[in-house]
Amino acid sequence: MDFDPIERYREMTGSEIQRVQERKLRDYIRYQLYPFSPYYNRLFDEKGIDPNSIMTLKDLETIPLTRKSDIMPDASNPKRYKDFILQPDPEKIRKHWPRSKLIGLKVKDIIKGDLAMDLHREYYPTFMIATSGTTGNNVPFMFSERDIKQFSNIYASLTEVTKLDMKWVVLNTFPFAPHLAFIFVYFVNLYLPLRMFHTGGGAVTSTLKTLEVVKQVDANVLIGIPSYIYHLLRKAQEKGTDLSSIRLVVTAGEKLSMSTRKRITEILKERGATDFKIFDVYGTTEMRDAYPECTPGKGVFHIHPNMHICEIVDPETGKQKKEGESGALAVTNIDGRGSVICRFLIGDIFEGGIQYGKCPHCGREGPRLVGPIGRIRDYHRSLELTNVKGTLLNLNAFYDIMPTIDGIDEWQVSIEKKNNDPSDLDMIRVKVAPKEGIDMVKLEKEIKERVNDSIEINPVVDAHYTMDELFEEMGGKIKVQRIVDTRAP
């Protein structure tokens, strides 16, 4: 069961990578996506798209974007996720594959109506992760045996990008959950001779116990959600834990703000660490993949060119943006079995767009996504703040404002209905856990002023939380939510 390993792309120039990607795209759409994906087979037929007409990156524009709503289950199709799984059968193979591709297969088995065993193992979905949606809305994404091998190979390349020394000991604090984050690290563990400990996250191993484990195993690498890592380090500060062994921090699962990065750095230095780096990782379940930034703090994420083509597009029209122009990320599989996507709109904006050729930061070649990253729905959130009209707000501004206000340990923004009344106006509540000994009146005033300066609204500030209470309310043990919308849908 061969797969295309990532190592061979390291020697290629940017234009060689693009040529290989376009060749893979052509073959993938003809021989995998169109014949075997029920959703895309139907989509291409309905829209009259000839699968043979997709030859280049630019040609992708003729295919409609796939949106989150297209993969979500509903009453008419509660198992919609199945439509995104590649499902070959002998008839489809005979119809769509060229003679040259059939030669390697056991023709007898195909004629008999059974798939050859190796094809079965290549495609059969054996492993699942799911999006962390609300109840009933999680969407499963499947891996086949071949996928597990191929994705482990690309996940393991994280160690090369972050220069993770194979002698280092890794502490993985991602929650035990069928989410990409934990599985990603676990697959790296199985693929490489690397010593790792998996705590299961705050809901499985208490934060104090986790700190003990750091000492017990002489951890050199901390991996987790930024707010959990920050939480862990603040506890270490409180307890006076020695962190001099730490050489690398890797965070994923939510935005790592510049100020969280700064505070993680401060605490590590204070607790004795002298030589360490902090890498942010961008990933999503739908890609079944995650990209580490190539240089700490630069917000530049090289894609895995053997697996996906990434486009930066206008999220409404699907039209591609120019190189370096801000837009929404759409991801297309050019390899992989199991659940696959084509022009899937992830829901994130990359303000620096996509860049090709040689990277000015690390010197590597190939396509890369450039931050800052914001969520589409936070850019254009519609709020009824007055009786006059709906206001469109960019709530991503909170990620910039809140961490720069002194005296805040934790924060969350919640969009609510006034008086909890569905027919009343909308309001924004800023929940804050203040640092000890802070002048609350001053803090509240500063938050209101800064928010008003930036997005011209007057929030309610609620600063009665302790750090632990707010962390709990934000879902910090599993997945932190910084901006929540509690209005009825």
233 close to 205: Cβ distance less than 8 angstroms: no
Query: Which residue, 362 or 467, has its beta carbon nearer to Zn ion?
Result: 362
In the complex, what is the shortest distance from the CB of residue 363 to Zn ion, in angstroms, rounded to a whole number?
Answer: 7
Residue from 271, 361, 429, 477 in contact with Zn ion (CB under 5 A): 361
Going through 133-199 in order, the beta strands assigned E by DSSP cover 140-144, 169-172, 195-198
Q: What is the DSSP letter of 126?
A: E
First to last CA, the chain: 46
**d(C-alpha 458, C-alpha 444), whole Å:** 11
Is 467 near Zn ion (CB under 5 A)? Answer: no
Helices 207-216, 226-239: axis angle to 10 degrees equals 80
Query: Which residue, 361 or 477, has its beta carbon nearer to Zn ion?
Result: 361
401 phi/psi in degrees, rounded to 5: -75, -55
H or E segment to which residue 327 belongs: strand 327-333
**d(C-alpha 141, C-alpha 394), whole Å:** 31
In the complex, what is the shortest distance from the CB of residue 127 to Zn ion, in angstroms, rounded to a whole number?
Answer: 31
Count of residues that interact with Zn ion, criterion CB under 5 A: 4
**d(C-alpha 277, C-alpha 138), whole Å:** 34
365 close to 13: Cβ distance less than 8 angstroms: yes
Query: Which residue, 139 or 294, has its beta carbon nearer to Zn ion?
Result: 294
Query: Which residue, 106 or 277, has its beta carbon nearer to Zn ion?
Result: 277
Query: Which residue, 362 or 425, has its beta carbon nearer to Zn ion?
Result: 362
In the complex, what is the shortest distance from the CB of residue 362 to Zn ion, in angstroms, rounded to a whole number?
Answer: 3
Query: Which residue, 32 or 251, has its beta carbon nearer to Zn ion?
Result: 251
In the complex, what is the shortest distance from the CB of residue 364 to Zn ion, in angstroms, rounded to a whole number?
Answer: 5
Query: Which residue, 359 or 433, has its beta carbon nearer to Zn ion?
Result: 359
Residue from 294, 310, 397, 447 in contact with Zn ion (CB under 5 A): 294
Query: Which residue, 361 or 429, has its beta carbon nearer to Zn ion?
Result: 361
Neighbours of 27 (CB within 10 A): 14
Query: Which residue, 67 or 361, has its beta carbon nearer to Zn ion?
Result: 361
258 close to 373: Cβ distance less than 8 angstroms: no
**Number of residues in the chain:** 489
Query: Which residue, 318 or 366, has its beta carbon nearer to Zn ion?
Result: 366
**d(C-alpha 153, C-alpha 247), whole Å:** 23
Query: Which residue, 6 or 63, has its beta carbon nearer to Zn ion?
Result: 6
Stretch that binds Zn ion, among 263-271, 275-283, 354-362, 477-485 (CB under 5 A): 354-362
In the complex, what is the shortest distance from the CB of residue 256 to Zn ion, in angstroms, rounded to a whole number?
Answer: 17
200 close to 171: Cβ distance less than 8 angstroms: no
Q: Which amino acid is at 90?
A: P
Query: Which residue, 145 or 365, has its beta carbon nearer to Zn ion?
Result: 365
In the complex, what is the shortest distance from the CB of residue 300 to Zn ion, in angstroms, rounded to a whole number?
Answer: 5
- What does 32-64 look like in DSSP terms, one character per residue? IIHHH-HHHHHHHHHHT--GGG--STGGGGGSP
CA-nearest of 277, 306, 276, 274 to 291 is 306
Q: Going by C-beta distance under 8 Å and a sequence separation of 6 or more, which residues neighbour residue 163? A: 277
In the complex, what is the shortest distance from the CB of residue 204 to Zn ion, in angstroms, rounded to a whole number?
Answer: 35
Is 281 near Zn ion (CB under 5 A)? Answer: no
In the complex, what is the shortest distance from the CB of residue 252 to Zn ion, in angstroms, rounded to a whole number?
Answer: 17
The H helix count followed by the E strand count for the chain is 18, 21
Is 362 near Zn ion (CB under 5 A)? Answer: yes
In the complex, what is the shortest distance from the CB of residue 10 to Zn ion, in angstroms, rounded to a whole number?
Answer: 13
Stretch that binds Zn ion, among 246-254, 356-364, 407-415, 458-466 (CB under 5 A): 356-364
CA-nearest of 45, 16, 25 to 367 is 16
In the complex, what is the shortest distance from the CB of residue 60 to Zn ion, in angstroms, rounded to a whole number?
Answer: 24
Q: Which amino acid is at 88?
A: P
382 phi/psi in degrees, rounded to 5: -90, 125
Stretch that binds Zn ion, among 268-276, 293-301, 430-438, 446-454 (CB under 5 A): 293-301
Distances (CA, A) of 256 to 297, 326, 407, 480: 9, 19, 19, 12
Is 359 near Zn ion (CB under 5 A)? Answer: yes
Write the interaction track for Zn ion spanning residues 301-340; mark x where CB under 5 A is met and - where it is not.
----------------------------------------
Is 370 near Zn ion (CB under 5 A)? Answer: no
In the complex, what is the shortest distance from the CB of residue 304 to Zn ion, in angstroms, rounded to a whole number?
Answer: 13
Pairing state between β 391-393 and 140-144: unpaired
Stretch that binds Zn ion, among 5-13, 205-213, 291-299, 457-465 (CB under 5 A): 291-299
In the complex, what is the shortest distance from the CB of residue 413 to Zn ion, in angstroms, rounded to a whole number?
Answer: 32
Q: How far is CA 71 from the centre of its chain?
A: 17
In the complex, what is the shortest distance from the CB of residue 442 to Zn ion, in angstroms, rounded to a whole number?
Answer: 42
Query: Which residue, 60 or 354, has its beta carbon nearer to Zn ion?
Result: 354
Residues between 90 and 149 with contacts to Zn ion, criterion CB under 5 A: none
Neighbours of 31 (CB within 10 A): 17
Stretch that binds Zn ion, among 130-138, 213-221, 265-273, 357-365 (CB under 5 A): 357-365
Chain residues in the site for Zn ion (CB under 5 A): 294, 359, 361-362
